[in-house]
Structure 1
Amino acid sequence: MLLNKINPYVVISLLSLVVFAADGQTLRDPTLPSASYQAVTITDTAESLVLSSVINGASSFAVINNKIMKVGDRVQGVRIVAIGKSQVSLSDGRKLQLFQSVTER
């Protein structure tokens, strides 16, 4: 009598959930890197300086390696000599340049 009251669509749905749940354990996430993927670690970050932005005004500031710096500050032992519109000059002769925006022409 109980079988007559059970909707066959509910039974089919429950059985398909059980089958798909069992198969879901064997499926691999396609967004994960392959098993042969090896991450590359950069160990020489002490020498790399990245200029993120420049703020010009009465006082000029530059964001280098995610730190706000001004003229006279030292970054990795090198003094900042000048901060221009899109570059920073260092005491060792290096110049850090901002990347131009993709929309600029």
Structure 2
Amino acid sequence: MNKLRVLLADDHMIVREGLKALINAQPDMQVVGEAENGREALKCAIELSPDVVVMDISMPEMNGIEATERLRKECPQIKIIALTIYEDLGYLRQLLKAGASGYVIKR
């Protein structure tokens, strides 16, 4: 059985490490890469072609919304799950309009 390949993009290493531990503990999932900013996330996603990118929205160099828009154009087959601290519906609509398949609010 093929494992779901996941790329983690978050500027906080502790968040990436925690998510990586949770994901890699699943028998059918595997973290294949990590990025600490939007530009790196886009580059890694194009190179690694993961099934899913878990993308923080507030990152340096290129925010997650812009990275999501660009990634959707470059690799439309990759699903993007946005991570955000924002709960405002207008902001969440922007995420979905940018191409995120869904979002998780950090709490």
- Into which bin does the TM-score normalised by the smaller protein fall? under 0.3
Which has the larger Rg? 1
More helix by share: 2
Q: Which has the higher contact order (CA 8 A, sep 6+)?
A: 2
Output the TM-score relative to the length of structure 1. 0.27
Output the TM-score relative to the length of structure 2. 0.27
